[in-house]
Amino acid sequence: MSTVEELAKQAQSAALQLARVASEVKNRALQEMAKALQDNVSDILAANQKDLEFAEKENIPGPLVARLALDEQKVLDMAKGILSVAGLPDPVGQKQGTMELDDGLVLSRVSCPIGVIGAIFESRPDAVPQISSLCLKSGNAVILKGGVEAQNSNRVIVKLLREALDKVSEIPPASIQLIETRAEVVEMLKQDATINLVVPRGSNAFVKFVQDNTRIPVLGHSEGLCHVYIDEDADTKKAVAIALDSKLQYPAACNAMETLLVHSGIAPKILPDLMTEFREKGVELVGDLKSCSLIPDLKRATDEDWDTEYNDLKLSIKVVESIGESIEHINQHGSGHTDTIVTNDKDRGERFLNEIDSACVMWNASTRFADGFRFGLGAEIGISTNKTHARGPVGLEGLVIYKYKLVGSGQTVAEYSGKNGKEFKHRPIEEDA
């Protein structure tokens, strides 16, 4: 039996125990986890410094380094995120509907944990407490695999979280586990008998690799090729603010804007000044022929640019003739993550929301709002571009499934079969508020 296979079996056993743990116990464990981070900031930052030195030595790309770096406030925010999860309602054991099939025969659908989650992610050490807290609160065990560039940070954080769980006897130690090598990832993807869901966070190529190499269901968190479309009826002040925030607030984020689409009717008015602001912030700009005619010295975009997530200070710009052209461009080139329209026209705003085929669609708001914490989910395990089970920022609700509970009083199917069989009532039962 491989080490990973044994870890997965331990996680499965832990998940069965976690499913029975009361909400107050899980919340107490989360509070201990948050305290462990708060009390050990210096240890976490020391480990993170080793990772940053490794990243510099290995010439790791800037966007990955930006996600890797921690400071005191980020560590405290990680602890705050855990506490916010503790304050959320428990998603386990919630009745989702009850029906009386017949007298004394009642069927309920009740939420329950998925089981064992395999989470694979790059660079971001803050993903460790995010994912761990969400899995614990939802009654799932988790096996974590971070990038090699964050190995020291991840080790220290997982060690602290596991030590915190040791203080709550009802929580099994194997609820949170860490693997570190690519070989272990390949082995983990074979554990379809014990791991119930894999959540890869990374590029489309990486997510596809995971999907192609496992029989375990995959909740895809792929790249974020996000768009902002400025309509001809946009408020220019709002449009400038939204475009700047969508790109500059955190360029390395998966919900940062990569392509700016501007209606030809407003482009001459808004693009020159907006592009000046982007350039002053160090953004490299490329554009189509129409935008090049409006902006001095603008470099022509290649076909590849429209399909590229930069995660950096680079932006593609295209001038379009209609909202229909913007929708067509986004649905063809986007990643199904997050896209926004800026307009004062109600019909166009609603058309955009209805016709863009993305997990998060927005109207007069920055793409950066696509985030579990900002959506009130407490945190997120990832942003799914899937169209099954869970989509968009995946918080607690996306980490539970459901089971049917049927309580009878001795009934058999034979009683309801044949010409003289009894009829079902199928009467919905309203639960008390």
User: What confidence category does residue 201 fall into, taking pLDDT thresholds of 50, 70 and 90?
Assistant: confident
Check pLDDT > 80 for residue 202.
Answer: no
Parse the chain into domains and list their residue ranges: 3-201+395-401, 226-369
Domain 3-201+395-401 and domain 226-369, same fold? Reply is no
Mean pLDDT to the nearest integer, 320-325:
98
Amino acid in the structure at residue 317: I
Mean pLDDT to the nearest integer, 155-178:
98
Q: What Å distances lie between residue 134 and 18, 304, 325, 398, CA to CA?
A: 13, 37, 40, 10
User: What confidence category does residue 205 fall into, taking pLDDT thresholds of 50, 70 and 90?
Assistant: confident
Q: What is the pLDDT of residue 347?
A: 98
How far is it, in rounded angstroms, from Cα 294 to Cα 384?
Answer: 37
Task: Look at the domain 3-201+395-401 and name its fold.
Answer: Aldehyde Dehydrogenase; Chain A, domain 1 (3.40.605)
Check pLDDT > 90 for residue 296.
Answer: no
Which residues lie across from 228 on neighbouring strands? 260, 340
Check pLDDT > 80 for residue 147.
Answer: yes
User: What confidence category does residue 377 fall into, taking pLDDT thresholds of 50, 70 and 90?
Assistant: confident
Strand order in the sheet with 176-179: 176-179, 141-145, 116-120, 197-200
Which residues lie across from 393 on neighbouring strands? 383
Q: What's the CATH class of domain 226-369? A: alpha beta
Check pLDDT > 60 for residue 433.
Answer: no
Of the given ranges (53-62, 228-237, 242-251), which has the lowest mean pLDDT? 53-62
